[in-house]
Structure 1
Amino acid sequence: MERSTTPFGTPRLLGIYLNDHLAGATGGVELLRRAARAQRGRSRGPQLAELAEEVASDRAALQQIMADLGIPVQRAKTALGWLAEKAGRLKLNGHLLSRSPLSDVLDLEMMRLGVEGKTSCWRSLRAIADTDSRLDTARLDGLLQRAGRQAEVLEALRTAAAVETFGSPRD
C-alpha cells in the first residue's frame, strides 16, 4: 500500500491523528471549564480552573505543533469535539434537572482519561521527534511532564469525589 502524504511531506495519517487529538482537546477544555464553574466556591474549584487553563495551553501547543508540521486544522472535526462535550452532559446520572454528585465523579474520570490520551499523543510525537527536526524535543518533554502532573491532580480529585459521592469503602 502506498503511503499518502500531505503536500508538506508529513504523513496523512499523522494529520488525522493530530486532528483527532485536537478535537479531544477541544472537548476537554470545555469539560474542564464547565467543571470549574460547577465547583466555584468549593475546594476543587481553583484546581479545576487552573487545569482548564493548562489544558487550553496544551491545546494551543498542539495547534502550534500542527502548524510547525504543516498539518491543517480540520475545523469540522474540532467542532465535533466541542459538540461531543455538550452531548456528554446528557447522561443519566440520577438527577433530571440538576447536577448530580455522580456528575463530578464521571466528569473527573473523563478528564483523567483525556489526559492519558493527551500523554500518549505527546509520547508519540516525542518518539518521532528524534527524526523530525520540526518537533521541539524540549517542548514535548515539558508537555509530557505537565500531563503527568495533571493526571496526578485529576486522580486525587477523582478519588476524593468518589469517596464524597459513594461514601467510604467498607471492609
Structure 2
Amino acid sequence: MRELDSYLNDHLAGSVGALELVDHWSELYDGRPLAKFLSALRKDIKADQKTLRELMRALGTKESSVRPAGAWVAEKLSRARFAVASDDAGGLGLVLALETMVMGITGKKLLWRALAASDLPRKANIDFVEMQQRAEEQIARVELERIRAARDALSGDRAR
C-alpha cells in the first residue's frame, strides 16, 4: 500500500503544478479567448484533484506536504524555460506550456486507467473509466489549443 500512497501523492503534486501552470498562463492571456479556455481547464483540474483527494481519504492515504511544494517550485522554475521560448502572446512558450499540460493530463489518464485495472473501484466508489474518459476529453481540448498556438507561433501570427 505504501507504493500506492506514493503514486497517488505524486499525482496530487502534479495537479498542484498543473494549476500553477494554468494560473500563470491565464494571467498572461487575461482578456483574450485563451483565458476562458484555461479557466474551464482549471475547473476540470480542480474537480479531478478533488476526486483524487477523496480517493486518498477513502484509502487512508496521508497527503504529502513535501511533494506539492516541490511541484510548486518546479512550475516556477519551468517559467524560465517558457520565457526563453517567449511567453509573449503568441510565442512558442505557450506551445511548450500546452505540451506540458498534455503530458500531465496523459499521466492523469494513465493513473485512472491503472486504478480501473485494480480492485480499487469496489473500495473507492469512483468510476475510474469515466475519469479516464474525462482526461481524454481534456487532452483533446488542450491539443486543439496547442495546435492553434503552434500555428500562430510558427507562422508569426501573434494576435491570440
Normalising by the residue count of structure 2, what TM-score does the alignment of the two structures yield? 0.88
Compute the displacement of 1:141 (Å).
2.6
The match for 2:140 is 152
Contact 2:56 2:62 in 1 (8 A): yes
- Pick from 91, 100, 122: which aligns with 1:133? 122
Please identify which structure carries the higher helix content: 2
Is 2:30 the partner of 1:53? Answer: no
The match for 1:6 is none
Normalising by the residue count of structure 1, what TM-score does the alignment of the two structures yield? 0.83
Equivalent pairs, count: 154
What is the rounded CA distance, in whole Å, between the counterparts of 1:153 and 1:133 in structure 2?
Answer: 30
Matches within 5 A, 1:101-116: 101-116=91-106
Percentage of matched positions with identical amino acids: 32
Provide the aligned C-alpha RMSD in A.
1.8
Contact 1:122 1:144 in 2 (8 A): yes
The match for 1:65 is 55
Deviations 1:39-78 (A, max 9, x none): 2222222111100111011111111111111111111111
Unaligned runs of 5+ in 2: none
The match for 2:24 is 34
Amino acid at match of 1:128: S
The match for 2:76 is 86
Is 2:108 the partner of 1:118? Answer: yes
Compute the displacement of 1:117 (Å).
0.4
After superposing on structure 2, the runs of 4+ consecutive aligned residues of structure 1 that deviate more than 4 Å are none
Highest Rg: 1 or 2? 1
What is the rounded CA distance, in whole Å, between the counterparts of 1:59 and 1:137 in structure 2?
Answer: 13
